[in-house]
């Protein structure tokens, strides 16, 4: 508690799933958190309420990250309300539709790239210049183990995450002279709504947690375990880490 006191974090897609766990963890560590959401206002407000109930500080902000104009309005409001953002977590993401590459509509490739890559790039373009003046600046992008080895019928998602990692690794090189830390967290299957949908489609199960007994350490990754890694990367304990990718999958689990 208190290790991030005085810092301001913006978590895109911060109202649900992995993003909500990251928002709660950073707030528990003392940061003031801007919880971004696209459509699920109720979930974002519930995350904010939980943070405040635990003694933290958070505010919900609506914007679709794939829309540069909405993102610009949101980031300006966050900075006006809370001050300079010095922790940016690019977590907002969407799944592809499970078609083979040759059966994928070109619009789907564009939709995935706009959300995962262009959305993160817009956030960085708007927030990194001010972040350079902070005592410390951190950008963490949430990727996927899909970048380690592609799976069938997930091409647009994998392509977007690979491009996102390339963006982050380049940003890490470009901004190290300005004192920024840019790192990647790449979870495998996680017990979220998206994870549940994935196992229903791919394995005929009702929820990701049904795979607990077949998973490393007897459980599928929980959102809080991803949040723990993000919290570490933006902490003083990771003061000499930059341009790193950490897989959070129990050592290579797949189903």
Q: Collapse the DSSP code of 150 into the 3-class scheme (helix H, G, I; strand E, B; otherwise coil) and give the result.
A: coil
Q: Which member of 37, 61, 157, 167 is catalytic? A: 157
Token pair 């998602």 is at which residue?
Answer: 157
Asked about 61 being catalytic, the answer comes back as no
DSSP β-bridge partners for residue 33: 9, 58
- The dihedral through the CA atoms of 194, 195, 201, 202 has a sign that is positive
DSSP code of residue 114:
I
C-beta of residue 172 within 8 angstroms of C-beta of residue 231: no
Alpha-carbon distance 1 to 190, whole Å? Answer: 25
Q: Collapse the DSSP code of 137 into the 3-class scheme (helix H, G, I; strand E, B; otherwise coil) and give the result.
A: strand
Comparing CA positions, the residue from 204, 197, 215, 127 lying closest to residue 157 is 197
Number of H helices, E strands in the chain: 8, 7
Tell me how far CA of residue 23 lies from CA of 33, 50, 54, 142, in angstroms: 6, 10, 12, 13
Measure CA of the first residue to CA of the last residue in the chain; give whole Å: 36
Alpha-carbon distance 41 to 84, whole Å? Answer: 24
Hey, which residues are catalytic here?
A: 157
């Amino acid at each position: 508690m208190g290790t991030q006191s005085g810092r301001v974090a913006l978590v895109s897609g911060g109202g649900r799933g992995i993003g909500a766990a990251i928002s709660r963890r950073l707030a528990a560590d003392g940061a003031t958190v801007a919880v971004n959401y696209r459509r699920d206002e109720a979930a974002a407000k519930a995350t904010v309420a939980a943070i405040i109930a635990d003694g933290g500080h958070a505010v919900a902000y609506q914007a679709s990250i794939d829309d540069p104009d909405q993102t610009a309005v949101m980031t300006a409001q966050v900075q006006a309300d809370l001050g300079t953002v010095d922790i940016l977590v690019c977590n907002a993401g969407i799944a592809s539709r499970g078609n083979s590459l040759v059966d994928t509509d070109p619009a789907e490739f564009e939709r995935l790239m706009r959300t995962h890559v262009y959305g993160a790039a817009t956030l960085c373009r708007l927030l990194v210049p001010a972040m350079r003046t902070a005592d410390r600046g951190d950008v963490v992008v949430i990727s996927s183990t899909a970048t380690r080895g592609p799976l069938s019928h997930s091409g647009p998602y994998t392509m977007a995450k690979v491009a996102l990692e390339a963006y982050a690794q380049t940003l890490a090189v470009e901004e190290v002279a300005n004192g920024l830390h840019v790192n990647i967290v790449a979870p495998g299957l996680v017990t979220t709504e998206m994870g549940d949908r994935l196992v229903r489609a791919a394995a005929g199960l009702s929820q990701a947690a049904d795979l607990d007994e077949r998973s490393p350490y007897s459980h599928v990754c929980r959102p809080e375990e991803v949040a723990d890694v993000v919290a570490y990367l933006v902490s003083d304990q990771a003061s000499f880490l930059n341009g790193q990718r950490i897989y959070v999958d129990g050592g290579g689990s797949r189903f």
